[in-house]
Amino acid sequence: MRLLCRNEGRSPAWIDKIQGYGEIVEGRLRDLASPVGHKAQPFLPIGPIAPGKSEWRNLHIVCPGHLKNTQLLSLFVLVEYRDIFEKTRLTTCGYTVIGTILDRQETLLERNKMT
Question: Where along the chain do its domains lie?
Answer: 2-111
Instruction: Find out whether 7 and 53 touch, Cβ atoms under 8 Å.
Output: yes
75 or 109, which is more confident:
75
Strand residue runs (E) in the chain: 2-6, 13-26, 41-43, 47-49, 54-58, 71-82, 88-98, 101-104
The string of pLDDT tens digits covering residues 43-82 is: 999 999 999 999 999 999 988 888 888 788 888 899 999 9
21-41 per-position pLDDT tens digit: 888 887 666 666 656 556 789
Whole-prediction pTM value?
0.83
- Cβ-Cβ contacts under 8 Å for 17 (sequence gap 6 or more): 42, 45, 78, 79, 80
What is the pLDDT, as a whole number, of residue 115?
79
> Whole-angstrom Cα distance, residue 54 to residue 37?
26
